[in-house]
Structure 1
Amino acid sequence: MSESFVVISGCSGAGKSTLLDELARRGKSVVSEPGRRIVSAELAGDGKALPWIDLAAFARKAKALALEDRATATALPAPVFFDRGLVDALAALDFATGTHAISSLGQAHRYHRRVFMAPPWPEIWQTDAERRHDFAAATAEFDRLVAAYTSLGYTLVMLDRAPVAARADQILACFS
């Protein structure tokens, strides 16, 4: 099962969601980013589990949603491409709280051995209503994610800074 779950992770604002949209357009199974869904829901209500208000609460919700996403994705045709995943949520939780949830939960809930990483790309990066941190914070998050996935033994594949179609081709070439 874990080999059919493929994570696209990396720097916030580096084009991951756009890439997942392209993979979906090509008929691939995709799971959207938990963090974006949480922020949208929290902003629509009176929620406080926003990364710029309470990162720990946000990360706990992201962890729960990532686990739900994994359970739901078992019914989708393989491979299933995830816009971020459980390891991303655990890295945020560990950063916010100083816990070490990555080692136990990260090993128990594996993804495909290759994780595709979108590196910092200042030319396309921008803030919006759901992404309020600056580029330096996004780059620091990227570094934490590289360390987290590496510590779990994943092989990181850095995505090219290229048009979205070329990035999708780069990923899909690994599965042909």
Structure 2
Amino acid sequence: MAKAQKILIIGGPATGKSSIITLLEQMGYHCLQEISREITLKAQEEGTQQLFLTEPLRFSELLLEGRIKQHQEANFTNANYVFIDRGIPDITAYLDYKEDKYPSKFEKANLEYTYDQVFLLPIWDDIYVSDNERYESLEEAKKIQQQLVSTYTQLGYNLIEVPKDSVEKRVEFILKHSKTE
């Protein structure tokens, strides 16, 4: 059995990743949702409002563990294509943005667990919102976006920028430009 093509959807906070993944799921594609909100909500239930802000390395270790599990899950699915909301390199991008130090296991994971295609959703001022789990200002989101682009580019990924448009048109673009066609 051939491994599924791992197609990654990345972008700064509030760029529409979850909406795209939801629509792809509704269309019958195998998708893996972003897991950072789960980690944040669990920490909040345990009394820590923003785990990434108070213990960025602990948050990132939990995220790395979860994203590696997702990557492995994608390898064992019967689907030909798996769309994934955020990838392992997002973790080091965020830690670099925060100028936090981290163990080499994060960089090793970036190299060991790779993706077949990466679609970048640009920061879109008109749709940006912060909420209980998304604490970044629009300016911070733009800086995070720059760090994401830098991290993925340094790792050798060719980022395919998705135009700002309706969710349906963005999904259509991704399907047209992915290896699913």
TM-score scaled by structure 1? 0.90
How much has 1:85 moved relative to structure 2? 1.1
- Cα distance change, pair 68–48 in 1 and its aligned pair in 2 (3 A): farther
* Aligned residue among 115, 118, 142 for 1:111: 115
* Post-superposition offset of 1:94: 4.1
C-alpha deviations, 1:51-90, integer Å up to 9, x for none? Answer: 2322222112111111111112223212101100111123
Task: Tell me the distance in 1 between the aligned counterparts of 2:144 and 2:103.
Answer: 16
Structure 1 residue runs of 5 or longer lacking an equivalent are: none
The residue type paired with residue 44 of structure 2 is L
Following TM superposition, by how much is the alpha carbon of 1:131 offset from its aligned partner in structure 2, in angstroms? Answer: 0.5
Letter in 2 for 1:107: L
The Cα shift of 1:29 comes to 0.7
Q: Percent identity?
A: 25
Deviations along 1:18-52, whole A, 9 cap, x unmatched?
A: 11001001000111112122112222233466223
1:5-44 counterparts in 2 under 5 A? 5-44=6-45
Preserved contact between residue 52 and residue 132 of structure 1 (Cα < 8 Å): no
Contact 1:9 1:16 in 2 (8 A): yes
Q: Any conservation in 2 of the 1:49–1:58 contact (CA below 8 Å)? A: no
> Gapped runs of 5+ residues in structure 2?
none
Q: Could you tell me how far apart the structure 1 residues matched to 2:65 and 2:72 are?
A: 11
Instruction: Work out which of the residue numbers 124, 134, 137 in structure 2 matches 1:121.
Output: 124
Query: CA-to-partner distance for each residue in 1:86-125, whole Å, 9 max, x for gaps?
Result: 111232234442347464321211101x310111101000
1:57 maps to which residue? Answer: 58
- SS in structure 1 of the partner of residue 51 of structure 2: coil
Aligned-residue CA RMSD (Å): 2.0
Contact 2:97–2:143 (CA<8 Å) still a contact in 1? no
- In the alignment, the residues of structure 1 paired with residue 49 and residue 75 of structure 2 have an alpha-carbon distance, to the nearest angstrom, of 31
Matched residues in 1 for 2:3 and 2:95: separation?
22
Among 147, 151, 157, the residue aligned to 1:154: 157
1:82-97 to structure 2, matched below 5 A, reads 82-96=84-98, 97=100
Q: SS in structure 2 opposite 1:123?
A: helix
CA gap of 1:10–1:146, structure 2 versus 1, over 3 A, is: same
Whether contact under 8 Å (2:97, 2:144) holds in the other structure is no
Specify the code of the residue in structure 1 equivalent to 2:148: L
The residue type paired with residue 92 of structure 1 is Y
